[in-house]
Structures are given as C-alpha cells and as structure tokens.
Amino acid sequence: MVIGKLLRIVAAAVVLAAAALIGWRVLAPAEVFESSVRSGAGRSDGEPATGAYPVAVTLPPGVTGKTTLAPLIVDGRIRVYAGERLVKADGPVEAKTMSTARWSYRRWPERLTGIVAVAATVVTRWSDGDVVALDGRTGELAWRAGGPAAEPFAGRTGSAAVWAPPGLHTAGTSVLITDGRQLIARAAADGTQRWAVPLPPGCGDGFVTTGGRYVCGAGAWDVLSGTVVRGWPTGPFTAVGCDVARSGCAGLRDGSGQGWLTGARRPERAPALDAPDATAAADLVLTVSGGGAVVPGVTASGGAVVPGVTASGGAVVPGVTASGGAVVPGVIASGGAVTASGGAVVASRAGREVWRWSGAARVLGVRGGRAVLLAADRRLIVLDAATGVLRAEFPLYVPKERVEAWKPDRWQLTDGYLAVERLQPSAGTDPDEANHFYTTDPVVIAAL
C-alpha cells in the first residue's frame, strides 16, 4: 500500500512537471524562423538549392493580382507582409494571389510595429524596441539591435506597418529609428550605429527629405552625421512628395503655409507649393484641386499625418485623418510640375506648361519616368512624365472581380509596380469596422 501511494505521488509529480514544461514552451518568450529557401550552391543531401530568388521582370502594363495583406515590394522581386507577431515574404511580385511564404519570422509575445527595406535587407521593429533585420532573399537573420519601445500597428492588412511604419525611415543606406525623443541611425547592411541624437520636445515623428535631412516639427538634422541643420523655416511642417516610410520627401510647407522644395541640402522657396493641396516631385510642384479627382472622407492616404507633421506622399499613420475631408496624393519624380485641376492634369516647369492630360484624376506619383494617375472611374493612367504621351490605360480591377466603386487608402509606387489598398466608398477611419475594405483581398497590384 505504501509503495502504491508513492507511485501515485511520483506519477502526479511527473504530470505536473510535464504540464509546467508544456506551459513554458507555449508561454515562454520565443522567436521562430521558417524558410523554404536554402542558401548556398546546394543542400546537404546533394539536391539543388530550393526557392530560388525571383528574377525581376519587366511586364506589359496591367493588373497582375490582388492580396489579402498589403505588400511591401522589396527589390522588385518579393512581397513582404506584416502580421501581428510575424513578418513573411512571398514572390514573385507579379503572383496573382498570396502564395506559400518563402520565409517567415515570428516573435512572442512581442508585436510588430513596422517594416522598411533597403535593397534586399528587410528591417523590422517590434513593440519591445528590438530592431531585427532579415536577408530578404533567404529570411536569415542579418543583424539585431535594441531600441526604444513602440506601439504595434493597427488594421488587418498591415498597410500601416509596411507603407507608414511609425518611427521608421530610410535614408540612403541607413535606417532611422525614433520614438520622438531620440533619433538613431543604423547601417542597413550590418546594423552598425552611425549616430544617435536627442530630439527636442514637440518633435514627434518626422520625415526624410530627398536632400538628406531628417525633419520634424522642431528642427532638421543631417542624415549622414546627425548634426543640427540651421536656417530651416519654422514648423510644424507638412511633408509632400514622400515615398513609403515618409522617406524621400521632395517638399514641405512650413508653419505659415509657405512651400519649399527639399531636394537640395537647404530648402528652396517654391510659391506654387503654398496651395494646401499641392505636392512636389524633385524640382517640380504638383497641385490637386477640383475636377472630382479627390475622394472626400478618405484618411490621409498617399501621405502621412503625424504629430507636428503632415505628409502627402507615401502612406498614413493609423488613426489620423486629413483635415477638410480631402486627400492630397504624393509623388516622387523628375520632370516638370504636374497640376490636376478642373478635370485636367497639367505638367509645368518653372511656371511653364509642358503637357496637359484632360480628365479628372488623382496623381498617385511619378516613378521611373512615368506619371501615374488614378481616374475618377478607377482607370489607371500611365503617362510619359517628360512628354505626357499616354503609355498605358486600364481599369484597376482584377479580371472577374466585381466592378463597383471604391476609394484608395494607402499605396506603394515603385519603378515597376503599383500596389493600392482599396476601401468601400463609405469606409471611415476605423480599419476594424464592418465593410471597411472593398473585398476580402483589398489590395490590387499592377505592373506599370
């Protein structure tokens, strides 16, 4: 009897220990890398390497597919997605739908806050402040570093994380990380800290100019050295003509509403940018007004609105809407000024008209020598940015998809592709509301 009791006690102890071990495995902090890609010339079993890195291709203009999550197009070859606690990639960019992940990286219990990419390096930021860089070709760890904590992104598509990551910016070969109190620059290739500076009160999250400045509501800093740059106008600023991650911004409006081009080391006065709906592209000015090209009630899509800073190019910070119920699209380009007004898009340089496109449209951007417009009937118009000659024109719908009205929210424009997140016309600012997105696969991707 004594032996039986001892055996029962031992058995109970074993069960408790096993339960504790299972609980630890489930609840303990963890990170998991998964990949279908093998680096090197071959596998240890003698078979060829699997999951070859997609080849960048040039496709005829047209819709290529749609996705459930918003993709960050990286290196023109893969698509990177944001989940609550994971980052994953598929490819190629022209795939019709989301496919089996080439690689994924998960963390627990931390949550993802944002993603940026420099060449093929994918840099992720997490709620505990860790910055983890991955090789976009294989998903392998490139480097990691600590940093200030950040809030996780909101919304099921992850567009806020991949197109408007809070406190994450790119500047050449550097990644800039900020919490509004400190700004840190790291080399995207290996994570080496290049410099770190404290930020003054009221700075908030800012933007990076094409001229190599980090600008917030309280000042400007050189992105190469971190030194303060004097002689800038007084904020708060409205950044215009930005790429994703509020980087590569071509212009701004200062606290008094005056417009400036920011392609040089110091801002250059541009009176045409004074218009509240104007944006910039290199040495150009683009103004959107009238003509029914701007959809009322859209969140600050194609731009970012941040404390002390509003931007009209690239993406949007979640939970903030554009004032006046209208949205100013952003662009990145070289060429002339482009004005969309009165049902026409006019390109001009130094006040002189270069070309004109007739019709109500929104300027989504200018990249790779192409001016990309979204017409009121949701046709994508692709023009030669230098001459205005029509290169392509097609409906921004997937084949066999229902053709109904929708409004654009955020988007990414690259040299070869456009990805747009589509909302129901009645959608508000809450991404979790019912019937917010156009379809269950709300992001449409098109080759340019």
- Average pLDDT of 13-18? 51
Domain-embedded: residue 282: yes
Domain-embedded: residue 22: no
Domain-embedded: residue 32: no
Instruction: Report pLDDT for 353.
Output: 77
DSSP secondary structure of 15-79: HHHHHHHHHHHHHS-EEEEEES---SSB-TTSPBPSSPPPPP----SEEEEEESS--EEETTTEE
Please check the confidence at residue 341 and state whether its pLDDT lies above 70: no
CATH number for the domain spanning 104: value is 2.130.10
State the pLDDT confidence band at 257, using cuts at 50, 70 and 90.
very high
> What tens digit of pLDDT does each residue of 346-385 get?
777 777 777 778 888 888 887 888 888 899 999 999 988 8
- Can you name the residues that pair with 240 across neighbouring β-strands? 251
Mean pLDDT of the chain: 82
Please check the confidence at residue 3 and state whether its pLDDT lies above 80: no
Q: SS3 string of 243-273?
A: EHHHECECEEECCCCCEEECCCCCCEECHHH
State the pLDDT confidence band at 62, using cuts at 50, 70 and 90.
very high
Instruction: Report pLDDT for 49.
Output: 34
- Average pLDDT of 37-63? 67
Amino acid sitting at position 44: S
> What tens digit of pLDDT does each residue of 77-115 get?
999 999 999 999 999 999 999 999 999 999 999 999 999
Distance CA 246, CA 169 (A): 6
Instruction: Report pLDDT for 8.
Output: 61
Domain-embedded: residue 39: no
Instruction: Report pLDDT for 24.
Output: 38
What length does the chain have? 448
Domain-embedded: residue 345: yes
State the pLDDT confidence band at 61, using cuts at 50, 70 and 90.
very high
Domain-embedded: residue 24: no
Domain-embedded: residue 184: yes
Instruction: Report pLDDT for 325.
Output: 30
pTM (predicted TM-score):
0.83
Domain count, the chain: 1
Percentage of residues of the chain with pLDDT beyond 90? 60
Q: Could you tell me the residue range of the domain that residue 251 belongs to?
A: 58-447
Burial degree of 92 (CB within 10 A; 0-12, 13-18, 19+): middle
Please check the confidence at residue 294 and state whether its pLDDT lies above 80: no
The beta strands (E) that lie in 152-236 are given as 168-171, 174-178, 182-187, 193-198, 207-208, 213-216, 219-222
Instruction: Report pLDDT for 9.
Output: 56
> What tens digit of pLDDT does each residue of 161-178 get?
999 999 999 999 999 999
| Dihedral sign of CA atoms 391, 395, 400, 401 in order | positive
Q: Which of 120-124, 184-188, 284-288 has the lowest mean pLDDT?
A: 284-288
User: Phi, psi (5° rounding) for residue 129?
Assistant: 95, -15
CB 230, CB 269: distance < 8 Å: no
Give 14 or 183, the one with higher predicted confidence: 183
Please check the confidence at residue 302 and state whether its pLDDT lies above 70: no
Answer whether the bond into residue 236 is a cis peptide, omega within 30°. Answer: yes
68-82, 235-249, 431-445 — which one is most confidently predicted on average?
68-82
Instruction: Report pLDDT for 64.
Output: 98
Please check the confidence at residue 407 and state whether its pLDDT lies above 50: yes
State the pLDDT confidence band at 225, using cuts at 50, 70 and 90.
very high
- Please give the helix or strand (H or E) that residue 367 lies within, else none: strand 361-367
> What tens digit of pLDDT does each residue of 105-163 get?
999 999 999 999 999 999 999 999 999 999 999 999 999 999 999 999 999 999 999 99
Instruction: Report pLDDT for 304.
Output: 36
Domain-embedded: residue 377: yes
Instruction: Report pLDDT for 324.
Output: 30
